[in-house]
Each structure stands twice: as C-alpha cells, then as structure tokens.
C-alpha cells in the first residue's frame, strides 16, 4: 500500500534514464528500506537501478539466484495520487470503486476466482500499480522472511529493481555482470501459479506522414491530407490481427498513437508475435504498407522500425531445471503451477539475451494498466512464499 502511493509512471518522451525523475524518488526510498531490513551491498546507480544482496547461510556451494521487479508504472493510465483500499472477504459481487465507476463481475469474471479473499483496489481514477510494485513487495518481504527463519537454508541471493520496464527499456542498462547471478526470476506475472518463459518478439513502428495543406475550396490535385492518409494506412493492416481480436500465440499490430492535421500526421504501432518467422513477416508487411503509401502519394511517409525484445524461450529451453524449481516452489506454496506464454514482454526477455536466463513468475495482480486493476492480499503472500521456496529448493537440489 505504501509502494503504490509513489507516482512512478514512466515516459517514452524524455529520452532519459530513468525516463522520469519520480522513479528515482521511489528508488531512493527503496534503497533506505533495503538497508533497514538488513540487506547488504545495497547500491543505487546513477541510472536508477537498485541492487542488493542477502548473503548465503549454508556451507554448500549454491548457484546465486536473482529476483527482479520494476519500479515504474504504465503510461497508459494515471499513477498520480493512487488511493488504494482493501475489500475484505470479497463476496463475489460488483465492486463500486467510486461514484459511477464499478468493477463489474460480468466484465471482469476473474474476480470470482478470488471470492473470500481480501482485494486491494483503486478508487477508479488511477491504476493501482501492482504491476510491478506487487513484485517488489513480495521480493522484499521474502528477504525479510528468510532472515527471520534462519533454519531455511539458501545460497547467495541478489535483488534487482529497475526503472522503465513499461516503455520497453527496463533491461537496457541492467548490469548483468554486476548482478552476478547464475539465473534469475522476474516477479512480474499476473494470476497465481503462473510461470512464463515464452514471450512475444516485439518491435515498435513510428510513422510520420508529411502532407500538403491547401485551402479546401481550391484543393483538387494539390492537397495531401496527412491525417486522412494516416487513416488509410491503418485500414491497410489486417483488421483481425489486433489485440482485440487475438489470443494465445496469435500475434498482432497495435495502433498505440495517432495524431495529425492536414499538414502532418504521426502514428505509433507495436508489433508482436511469438513466432520469430511470423514476427519478421509482420515487420516486412509494415514496411510494404508504407512503401505503398509512398508509391501512391509520392515520398511523403517515413518509417522508423525498431526491435525491442525477443522470445526468451530461445535462451531458457536448454536450462529447464530453472522452470522445474519454480514449479516445485509454487506447488510447495499450495498452488498448481501453470506454464503459460506471455502475451506481452518482460525485462526477463532482454536479460535472457544478455546472458542471464530469467523466466517470469506471477506477482498476483490483475487487470493491469487501468482503474480496474486489483491485487488479492493472499496472492501477495503466495508469491512471497514462492520466492522463499525457490531459494530453499535451489540450496537442496543444486547445492554441493
């Protein structure tokens, strides 16, 4: 509840790291808290990345494990003045967040999976920020729990909290060498029991269209209306390959921004697919569409296409013992492990390609990036115990 009171919304517009100074404010708070709860080697670098260590308490030689979560919240919804409250022993009915704003069971049926639990909700004017402050809370509490229970043996554990995950830059400056782990887990998933080691391949596409503004009464054969051409471009993409029409392993094109006048228009897309071949095909399709616009109207459109991250399965599937440990840890915490592909990305994807195998584990929040986000307290507790169990199981199974 304290963590989500910090506004840590990231921004794609600043070009700095962290992308917003308010993320550093939260990082400074966390730094002092980590020192206070007894962690060592607590370091906050100039780019807003926070690292800390819990030393080994076993005589065995055990692989060093890392646990990672991100400090920023999504630019998609306000994170200013978050007002969380707890709905105790949720009874299965609609939840009134504030006047006229209701989280309805009909629209959000996942609520019923948490009947009888205590749900942290918003007041309907902001997101909650469980993505990913739930992950931070679970990791910090797990480190406290391990210190309070020295009978639980574990190797060296590293903690890492980073900025700017929500804008696809969280792992860009993560110091894998300094982190010094054999493998790690991001605590950034959703429903209890989930383990994810497959994610989208991801790219961004920014298109600028330069039109020609002429008085509309005398525009024939002269005007090039950039805003109208932008809508034409959007209509050239497959209508059934959007986030609203896809699920599972199906990829998509997602229009995230559109603005324009007759003189100039700008569009932003994200491109996603689990399959690398289909992913490359989608990028080619976007390029072809821009080429078609230029052939039709002259060279008026420019495309900036950037890869963001790739499917971590390529880097994890030959180290499946990491997944087996997570499954056992989840089972030991009283849940059924659910291995699922992420319809999104995670810092773990980029970290895996930087040499740190890093699957993703549930953090317990649901309906991220909007005012209907909620997080069951019991899910926080289960995720915390999953972290504890991973540390214990690794010591028992991989310690020498």
Q: What is the residue-level pLDDT of the chain in tens, covering all 400 positions?
A: 999 999 999 998 999 999 999 999 999 999 999 999 999 999 999 999 999 999 999 999 999 999 999 999 999 999 999 999 999 999 999 999 998 899 999 999 999 999 999 999 999 999 999 999 999 999 999 999 999 999 999 999 999 999 999 998 999 999 999 999 999 999 998 999 999 999 999 999 999 999 999 999 999 999 999 999 999 999 999 999 999 999 999 999 999 999 999 999 999 999 999 999 999 999 999 999 999 999 999 999 999 999 988 999 999 989 999 999 999 999 999 999 999 998 887 789 889 999 999 999 999 999 999 999 999 999 999 999 999 999 999 999 999 9
Instruction: Indicate the pairing of strand 101-103 with strand 95-98.
Output: antiparallel
CB 77 within 8 A of CB 169: no
Write the DSSP string, 190-212.
Answer: -STTEEEEE--EEEEEEEEEE-B
Task: Domains for the chain: give ranges and CATH numbers.
Answer: 3-199+311-398 (3.40.630.10), 201-308 (3.30.70.360)
- Per DSSP, 254 falls in state E
Q: Is 72 a catalytic residue?
A: yes
Is the pTM higher than 0.95? The answer reads no
Phi/psi for 248 (5° steps) reads 60, -125
CB 105 within 8 A of CB 114: no
Q: Would you state the structure tokens that stand for residue 75, as one six-digit string?
A: 């630019």
Q: Is 165 a catalytic residue?
A: yes
Q: Of the listed 7, 72, 198, 273, which one is catalytic? A: 72
Rg value, the chain, Cα: 23
Q: Of the listed 7, 131, 138, 165, which one is catalytic? A: 165
């Amino acid at each position: 509840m304290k963590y989500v009171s910090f506004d840590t919304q990231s921004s794609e517009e600043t070009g700095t790291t962290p992308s917003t100074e308010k993320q550093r404010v939260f990082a400074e708070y966390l730094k002092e808290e980590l020192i206070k709860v007894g962690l060592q080697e607590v370091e906050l670098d100039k780019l807003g990345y926070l690292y800390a260590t819990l030393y080994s308490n076993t005589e065995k030689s055990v692989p060093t494990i890392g646990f990672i979560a991100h400090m920023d919240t999504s630019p998609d919804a306000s994170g200013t003045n978050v007002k969380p409250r707890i709905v105790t022993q949720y009874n299965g009915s609609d939840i009134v967040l504030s006047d006229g704003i209701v989280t309805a069971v009909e629209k959000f049926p996942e609520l019923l999976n948490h009947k009888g639990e205590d749900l942290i909700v918003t007041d309907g004017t902001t997101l909650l920020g469980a993505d990913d402050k739930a992950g931070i809370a679970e990791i910090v509490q797990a480190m406290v729990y391990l210190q309070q229970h020295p009978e639980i043996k574990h190797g060296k554990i590293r903690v890492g909290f980073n900025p700017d995950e929500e804008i696809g830059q969280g792992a860009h400056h993560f110091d894998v060498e300094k982190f010094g782990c054999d493998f790690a887990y991001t605590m950034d998933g959703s429903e209890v029991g989930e383990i994810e080691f497959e994610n989208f391949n991801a790219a961004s596409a920014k298109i600028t269209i330069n039109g020609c503004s002429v008085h509309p009464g005398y525009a024939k054969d002269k005007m090039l209306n950039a805003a109208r051409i932008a809508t034409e471009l959007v209509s050239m993409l497959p209508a059934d390959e959007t986030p609203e029409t896809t699920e599972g392993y199906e990829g998509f094109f997602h229009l995230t921004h559109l603005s324009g006048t007759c003189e100039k228009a700008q569009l932003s897309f994200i491109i996603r697919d689990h399959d690398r071949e289909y992913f490359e095909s989608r990028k080619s399709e976007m390029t072809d569409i821009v080429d078609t616009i230029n052939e039709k109207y002259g060279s008026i459109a420019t495309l900036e296409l950037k890869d963001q991250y790739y499917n971590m399965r390529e880097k994890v599937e030959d180290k499946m013992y990491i997944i087996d440990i997570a499954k056992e840890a989840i089972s030991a915490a009283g849940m059924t492990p659910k291995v699922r592909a992420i319809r999104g990305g995670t810092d773990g994807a980029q970290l895996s390609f930087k040499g740190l195998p890093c699957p993703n584990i549930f953090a317990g929040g649901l309906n991220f990036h909007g005012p209907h986000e909620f997080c069951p307290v019991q899910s926080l507790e289960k995720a915390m115990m999953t972290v504890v169990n991973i540390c214990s199981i690794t010591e028992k199974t991989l310690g020498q």
